[in-house]
Amino acid sequence: MDGILDRMIFDGEQLSDLFKPLELGWKARGKAELALMEELVPFLKKQAGGREISGLAAYE
């Protein structure tokens, strides 16, 4: 979280890396990532204080 807010860049690769240990198939991993981002996007936007976070629009 701090790295995202420090750089104002969201890296989807890191999100995928977060789910690798769960050994989910690509469909299940995609659903899990989207569910997490559904909750995370509003929090990140609030923390960013109106500034744009690059790469986050893909999950809005």
The residue segments making up the domain with residue 32 are 2-59
Whether the CB-CB separation of 2 and 48 falls below 8 Å is answered with: no
Number of structural domains, the chain?
1
Q: Indicate whether 9 pLDDT > 90.
A: yes
What are the pLDDT digits (tens) for 14-45? 988 989 999 999 999 999 999 999 999 999 99
Q: How far is the C-alpha of 47 from the C-alpha of 18, rounded, in Å? A: 21
pTM: 0.80
